[in-house]
Structure formats: structure tokens, C-alpha cells
Structure 1
Amino acid sequence: MGGPDRRSVLRAAGGGLALAGAGLGSTLLAGCRGDTRPAPSAVDWQALDARLTGPLLRPADPRYAAASTLFDPAFDAIRPQAVARATSTADVQACVEFARRTGLPLAARAGGHSYGGYSTTTGLVVDVTPMAEVAAAPGQVARIGAGALLVDVYSGLARGGLALPAGSCPTVGIAGLAMGGGIGVLGRRYGLTCDRMVSAEVVLASGEVVHTDADHEPDLFWALRGAGGGNVGIVTSFAFAPHRATPLVLFTYRWAWDGAADVVAAWQDWISAPGGAPESLWSTCVAFSAPSAGVGGTPTLRVSGVLSGGAGDDAMAGLRARLADLVDAAGHRPTGTYVTTRGHLEAMLIEGGCAGRAVETCHLRGRTPGGTLPRVAQRAASAFLHRPMPSRGVEVLLGAVEERQRTAGAGSGGVILDSWGGAINRVAPGDTAFVHRGAIASAQYVAGYAPNATPAAQEANRRWLRSTVEATAPFVSQSAYQNYIDPELAGWAQAYYGTNLDRLRQVKRAYDPDDLFRFAQGITPA
């Protein structure tokens, strides 16, 4: 069998889809409050341009088309009045002051992966991707610019033999990921990305630049570790505590669909049993429709994972023994197995769907020189599991995937269950703004668009996602992961922030009382 490719299950049948009229684009626009002040004049824009070191791209600029788009083509209909490619903290300050003075909506962007499209706006986009330096040496903190993408973070740290627990998708920005939590294949061993944050430099709504850490502006530092991007300021750089990079063991086991219910049940017990999986072992259980199999085919089921901290004979023997336990508990032999050891950087490229690619090619096509990766259109939602789903819950979940398989024209879609616990759950819920510390797993529901989907197909796709979320709700927690932000989630503030919501609103009042940094699912001041 081929190696595991976590990103491929999120690729959503390739291509993209621009939403017109009602839909996600209008959902975003509805979240922007109006202002009675006149629109900025040509003179205003010229004055801002003169203050910036980086370029200010207006719609007539040939660079604007590429600069104004997000990862998901669903938001291409949203047209910013300008995109400022900020190359310095002073550039960000100038943009914040401009937005405050003119009343223009403002959005910060790095990777542009917000599922709700909240990293764009009809006003001014502050693109921090030029600030992407990655610098670290063994025994020191890693200093990372807010615009760095994960593939460049991993590559930059690897030069010093270091690594950081973070996500799999290579074109996600470090800023949005870390501020919303930051789960990944090393989370059980090393914690969330936000747990490794040591300090940050932030431009506040006032235009002031502050350095925040555990001893300086501690409430702001608390909020940056879990509030999500775009809520309390624009971060321009971070310091993180990296860990030593070691070889990783990757594995994938695949099963025939007729054993799916038994495998999912066994996997839940396998990851959550007391004294079970070591913290060095992370895994994911993926049940996805397979459009290539046709309406009469069956979905796919696989369990993949990563073992960190050692790849010697003893570690490999221990892993194979644990995988044998999973197979025995499932009661079904896998149809294919794959176990391999790779260096840390190569392993993360494989996890990001970039197996065999050079780092420079593992960027978006048309966005970065040499980039070859496509943009992706999809909808998604999430939930947490604090205990294994009962058999009825597993049946409902798999039934939704089977329904999608039976639907002609539906793109790839299904559920991704990721194991949690370990170092993530050793942090108390109130120690950082990230409150989800008791989960055994997260569930991400993904519904991909076909490149030529009609409006009717788009709506059918949306209905499948919402019906799946509703049907599985009795079997999961009522919380959701803020980095898988869901524009249609009812009660989203409580679902994302739980018992930390009141404190977050107090921090918002202290640092952004006029709600300059606002969007449809943004935290509001107390």
C-alpha cells in the first residue's frame, strides 16, 4: 500500500467553487457592521500607501487578483477594497490606524484557511505573509514571524534539528493555528501549538505595539492561546519553545467497509482505555466516501497514525503489538497495512500530502513561486468526544457516510476522528483560553465540493453536512473546535470557549473596547 496522506482526505474532490448570491460569502458580509463615515478617498489610500514599506494592492493592480483570494474558492466573490502586504510591524500599525480612522472593516490574513472566510473582508486585508522568518537554535526559543506557513516552519526548524507540534496542512499559517489551539500529530506528546507559545508581539486596536508573555500583559497572553485569530489584535511575531526533531514512525491500516462499525468501536477503546496508548502514539480514524468508486461502491475506512520519540527496534515492536491488539479487538483483518520510518521533516511532508515533493513545491499554485498545491472548496464542522460513542452513535455516523456514497455527484466527504489526550489534557481548561482539555478525540465532518457543482449540488452538500452534525449531536459533546470554525453553528461562542468565554470578553473589553477587530463569529467586548 502507499504511504498515508492525511491532506488527501481533505482535498475535497479537487478544484474550487465560487459562491454567488446567498451562501458562505453572504454569511461573512452579514457579520460586518456598517459605518456612517464616508468611504476612504483616493487621497486617503495614497497616504496609507506612502506609509507602508510593503505594497498596497488595489483592484486595478495586476497582483490584486491572487492577493485577494483565500484557500477556499468559495469566498472569491468577496472583494477587499485593498490588500496591504505588510512587511513590518510598522506596516500593521499603519493599517490598524487607517481602519480606526476611516471605519473601514479590517481583517488580518496569513494562510487564509478560515472555514468561515473570516480572513477576508470588503474593507482592508492586512496580509502578514511577508513576515515569515523562522529562526531557532538548539536550547533557544524559536522566533517565528506571524506570516509563516507550516511547511516553512517545519523546514526552517529542521535546519536546527528542531520541531514544533502543529497541524498537517502545509499552507496553514502559524498565527491562526496557534491562536486557535493548534492540534497535530505530535499533540499527545508535546501539547497544542498554543501550549508551546512563549511570547508574542501584538499590534492592538489602539495602534500600540506590545510584547506579551506570562509576566507582561498576562491576560492578553492568556487570550492569545486559544481565543482564535483576529479577536484581540494582530500578532506580528511569536516565540515558541520547540522540541528536538526525531524520526517518526508512520502507519496506515485499511479495512473493508463491512467491518467499519467494529473497527471504529475498537479504535475508540484503543485510544482511550486507561493505561492504553502511550503519549507518543497519535492516531486518526477516517471514514470517507469514495466518489471514484461510483454510487454503487463503498466508502473507505482507515486508521493512520504517528509514533514519535523513537524508531528503534523496541519502539517498532511495541507499535506492531499495539496495532495487533487493535486488529484483534476489531475482529476483522485489514485489507492493507503500511508501516515506515521517516525523518521528521519528510514525515510531516507526507502527513501534509506532499510525499516526494520539495518544500518549495508544497505551497499554493499561483501564490508562491514554485508552488504546486491546488486550492480546495469544502464545508466543515466539528465536535469533541469525551467518551467513546455508543454503538448507536457509530451506526449513525457511518450511515451518514454511506448516504453520501449513495448520492450521485457528491464530492468526497465524511468524518475524521483524531485522538487527543496526553500532554493536551494535562493543561487545565482555564490555564489558557483553549478550554477543550478533557477530550479523547475530535471529530471533523468534511463535505467537499466538485469543481463544477451546480447551486442545487451546493445546497445538497450543505444539507448533508448539517444533517450529519444534527444526527450525531446526541453522541458527542456540545463543544466545537474554534479552528474548524463553522459559520452555521448555533451557540458557537459557548461551543468554542465554554467556561472561558466570560474572561475572554473581559480581555476583549480591555484591549479592543470598540470592537475594531470584528467578524461574524468574533468575541464581543463584555
Structure 2
Amino acid sequence: MPGDEAFTSARQVENPRFDGAEPLAVLSAASADDVAEGVMFANASGVPLALRSGGHSYAGHSSGDSALVIDVRALSAISVAGDGSATIGAGARLIQVYEALGQQGRALAAGSCATVGITGLTLGGGVGVLTRAFGLTSDALRSVEMVSAEGMRMTASADENPDILWACRGGGGQVGVLTSLTFDTVPAPTITTAFLEWSFADAVPVILAWQAWAPDADPRLWSTLKLLSGGRHAGPAIQLTATWIGPSSELDANMAGLHQGSGVLPTVNSVQPDRTYQDVMFSFAGCAGGVSAEQCTTGAGGLLQREAFSATSHVPTDLLDRNGAAALVERCMLGQQLAGAREVSVSLDALGGAVRDLHEETGFAHRDAYATVQYTATFEDSADPAPYDVFVRESRAAMEPWWGTGAYVNYLDPSITDPGAAYFGSNAARLADIRSSADPSARFALPGFAAV
């Protein structure tokens, strides 16, 4: 409760821009029964609810201003069964998942940020370094344990409440409070990583070549292309990080199409062959060199730092022409002039492969997209977010002539005026029906989503 010694830390989420939020209270649930009690209390008293797993809501919804926050971060137990399936507490951070699975020789395709919660990531889809080989995080989801809008504990699986499971597999959820998730996992692969950088003068041909090459490359090869500027950089930069789970000796041949397509060679091409899954995921999380999962956090005793940011997104299906690539480059160059920006980034994460080829229906609507695109600007914690919000949204608007209005719900942007169409496309109507049936009073609906 406000005034309690632990309240300041209990209310804190990952983006410092929301530190001013004032929850009515934070329920740090220690069990699914605690979650049920919280929901029933809120129903009986008419108190608004906010749900928190990792605390990474880009729109700040998990900060719970003027609401009761149900925080499931303590529900973080992870177990791996003999068949390789993993049951993961709804509050587990990704770094905890990678450590627990890696120690069992198993892997799950998911994101690279250490402190992201497994639940929010899965509900929106889940893109990461193994995505093209094994699919989205949500594609591996087989069942969930949850608390309903009435405060009842229930299961959703292929055999029990299948529509609820469908909505949880990349459809944005908003159907209940998840308390645990069960996934299929895969044997942990050996991973070769590569880092490339080009002269920024070559950015247009590199972008054009990457977008044509990356989604149709061997599914064992994933890459993210970044355009970077801002105070951390001497000038605009274009970089690529790639992961390859085939024989390390075959990486060069699989990268050749990118070089041939661009007609230019990188100025930096650094390869680290044959790394373990756990080593690679800790490295991407910023926790290489023997850092433990307990230290790989922004919380108490952690080595990571929170950072204020603004963000929005695209999920494109149409390739850029030269003018489109030049427009993207221009936004990066303008980012170098954005006053107070620590870093301005456009990140293109490759899709295709197993994401495109899945023959199973899920709530994720962007199977034909070739990438997710994230526009971000990081800034001083005490700075006014408004100019950075304006900048990233202007970047999205500048690219709409080529990329339309589709967006990725895990990079939630409250300024998007038709969230159903943008985030869920042709799945929007079915998802709205499922949410309405599961939560007729819209207790779990995010702002702007109650009617979509």
C-alpha cells in the first residue's frame, strides 16, 4: 500500500518514464490463489485492475496508475518434463527461462531482453534469435493456467477452452490473468553469431538487399538490421547481428546472398563460432562473462540499468523501393539531431521461415510479414518524453506509404487509432468475440481495446 516501506520498489516498472504512476496498491502474488483473491476483491469493490508480468508495457499499462496492480513476478518457477515440455511461471523473466532451459539442454525461441516477462512476450507473439528456425514463442505454447474474470482458476489448452488458448498465442491475451504457461521446447542448438557493420553511405543498398534476402534465407539463419544514431554514436550507423544454428563452416555461404544483393562489403565482419545456447542468450541480454540470472536484472542487486524510452512499430509485408529505403535512412540521420537522445534506433527483425510456414491457426496475424520493425528513442530518465514520442511516431508515419499501418502489439503505441486492425488484422473480429465472452465487463481490456 502507499506509505509501506516496500511500496516504492513494488510499484516500479522497467521504463522510468512511468515512475510517476500511483497505483492504489500492488498485490505481489505468491500463488494462483492470491491472483484469484485479487480479482475477486477488485470485482466486489469496483477497483480498476492492472496486470504485470515483466513490467515492460510500452504504454505503461502495467504501472497501474489509479488501479490495483496484480503483479505475478514472484510466480517464476520453471520445470522441464521428460518429454521436453517446460512449465513456466507467469512472472519468469526471459533470463531465468534461458538459464533453466539451458541447464537442461533445451531451448525456446524468444526475445533477447533479460527482464522481459515470458507472459507478455508470448501473448503478443514473441520474436527472437531462434524465431525463423522454430517459430514465435507463442507457437510453442501448449496450455496456460489462469484466473478468469470471475476470479476462477482454469486451464486453456487444445482440449479445454481452446479459444482462450488461441487468443493467448499471439492474439494479445486480455482474457484473464495467466499464472503459468506450458511450452514445447527444442534441443538447445549450437549457435554461431556474426556482427557486421557497413559504411553508412552504403545504407540504402544494404537495406534493399537485406529485406529481399533475410526472410527467404535458410530458416536456421536469423538476423536483425539496425540503423542507429543519437548521442551514443559519432554519426549514423548501420549494423547487423546474425545467428546461425547450422554447421559454422556453412555460415559464409549463407551470408553470401546479402553481400551479392547489396554489392558492397561490410567494414566489420566478426564471427564467433559454435557457442552454447545459454552463452548466446546471456550475451544478447547484456550479461556475458559469467553474470548470473540473479544479477542479470534491473532490480535489487542487479547489474543492469533501467532506461527511459519511446517506441512504436511496423510489421511490413511490402518491400521498400529505393525511395522507401532512403526515407528510412533520412529518419536515422534526423535522429542524430534529436536533442537529448541517448540513442535513436530502427530495428528490423527478420521473420519468414517457421513463422511464415506454420500450418496451425493462432491469434498472431502477421504470418506473411517479412520483419517486425521497432522505432525507439532512449533519453535521460528525468526528461520530458513528448519530443521523443513525437519523433518515433513521425518515423512510423514517414514509412506508412511503403509499410502501411500494421504494427506489433508487443511494442504497444497508444497513438495508433485502430489497434484491432493494426495489431491483429483479419484476426481482430474473432479476438474481440473471445475477449467479450471471457471478460464481458472488460476488466482486463487495455485502454482502446474494449471494443476491438
One of 324, 328, 334 as aligned partner of 1:393: 324
Q: Which residue of 2 aligns with 1:355?
A: 288
Structure 1 residue 207: Cα displacement: 1.0
1:187-231, CA deviations, whole angstroms, 9 ceiling, x for partnerless residues?
A: 1111111110111111001111111100111111111112224x1
Q: Which residue of 2 aligns with 1:494?
A: 421
Q: Does structure 1 residue 280 correspond to structure 2 residue 211?
A: no
Q: Which residue of 2 aligns with 1:103?
A: 46
One of 115, 121, 143 as aligned partner of 2:87: 143
- 2:287, 2:296 within 8 Å by CA — same for their partners in 1? no
CA distance in 2, matches of 1:140, 1:462: 42
- 1:151, 1:362 within 8 Å by CA — same for their partners in 2? no
Letter in 1 for 2:229: S
Q: Which residue of 2 aligns with 1:420?
A: 351
1:7-39, CA deviations, whole angstroms, 9 ceiling, x for partnerless residues?
A: xxxxxxxxxxxxxxxxxxxxxxxxxxxxxxxxx
- 1:248, 1:343 within 8 Å by CA — same for their partners in 2? yes
Give 3-state SS (helix, strand or coil) of 2:61's partner. Answer: coil
Q: Does structure 1 residue 442 correspond to structure 2 residue 385?
A: no
CA distance in 1, matches of 2:313, 2:232: 25
Q: Which residue of 1 aligns with 2:165?
A: 221
CA distance in 1, matches of 2:130, 2:13: 27
Q: Which residue of 1 aligns with 2:243?
A: 306
Output aligned runs, 1:317-336, within 5 Å.
Answer: 317-336=249-268
Structure 1 residue 497: Cα displacement: 1.1
Output aligned runs, 1:112-511, within 5 Å.
Answer: 112-121=55-64, 122-229=66-173, 231-272=174-215, 276-293=216-233, 297-308=234-245, 310=246, 315-341=247-273, 342-365=275-298, 367-368=299-300, 370-427=301-358, 431-453=361-383, 455=384, 458-511=385-438
One of 32, 45, 55 as aligned partner of 1:89: 32
1:383-432, CA deviations, whole angstroms, 9 ceiling, x for partnerless residues?
A: 1121321111100011011011133433311200111011111235x811
Letter in 1 for 2:423: Y
- 2:230, 2:337 within 8 Å by CA — same for their partners in 1? no
CA distance in 2, matches of 1:142, 1:459: 41
Q: Which runs of 5+ in 2 are unaligned?
A: none
CA distance in 2, matches of 1:376, 1:424: 31
Letter in 2 for 1:410: A
Measured at CA, do residues 138 and 301 of structure 1 come closer, stay the same or move farther in structure 2, by a change above 3 Å? farther
Aligned residues: 450
Q: Which residue of 2 aligns with 1:52?
A: none
CA distance in 2, matches of 1:316, 1:69: 42
Structure 1 residue 284: Cα displacement: 0.8
Give 3-state SS (helix, strand or coil) of 2:225's partner. Answer: strand
Structure 1 residue 500: Cα displacement: 1.1
- 1:504, 1:523 within 8 Å by CA — same for their partners in 2? no
Structure 1 residue 305: Cα displacement: 0.9
Letter in 2 for 1:203: V
CA distance in 2, matches of 1:493, 1:235: 22
Measured at CA, do residues 222 and 298 of structure 1 come closer, stay the same or move farther in structure 2, by a change above 3 Å? same
- 2:192, 2:243 within 8 Å by CA — same for their partners in 1? yes
Structure 1 residue 443: Cα displacement: 1.0
- 1:138, 1:162 within 8 Å by CA — same for their partners in 2? no
Q: Which residue of 2 aligns with 1:41?
A: none
Structure 1 residue 357: Cα displacement: 4.3
Structure 1 residue 452: Cα displacement: 4.8
CA distance in 2, matches of 1:289, 1:191: 31
Letter in 1 for 2:431: L
Q: Does structure 1 residue 64 correspond to structure 2 residue 17?
A: no
- 1:401, 1:414 within 8 Å by CA — same for their partners in 2? yes
Measured at CA, do residues 523 and 363 of structure 1 come closer, stay the same or move farther in structure 2, by a change above 3 Å? farther
Q: Which runs of 5+ in 1 are unaligned?
A: 1-57
Measured at CA, do residues 413 and 357 of structure 1 come closer, stay the same or move farther in structure 2, by a change above 3 Å? farther
Structure 1 residue 333: Cα displacement: 2.5
Letter in 1 for 2:209: A
CA distance in 1, matches of 2:256, 2:368: 27
Identical amino acids, percent of aligned pairs:
36
- 2:316, 2:404 within 8 Å by CA — same for their partners in 1? yes
CA distance in 2, matches of 1:452, 1:175: 29
Structure 1 residue 509: Cα displacement: 1.9
- 1:138, 1:161 within 8 Å by CA — same for their partners in 2? no
Measured at CA, do residues 145 and 350 of structure 1 come closer, stay the same or move farther in structure 2, by a change above 3 Å? same
Structure 1 residue 349: Cα displacement: 0.9
CA distance in 2, matches of 1:251, 1:242: 25
Give 3-state SS (helix, strand or coil) of 2:209's partner. Answer: helix
Structure 1 residue 450: Cα displacement: 2.6
TM-score using structure 2 length: 0.96
- 1:396, 1:472 within 8 Å by CA — same for their partners in 2? yes
- 1:364, 1:375 within 8 Å by CA — same for their partners in 2? no
State which drifts further: 110-119 or 488-497: 488-497
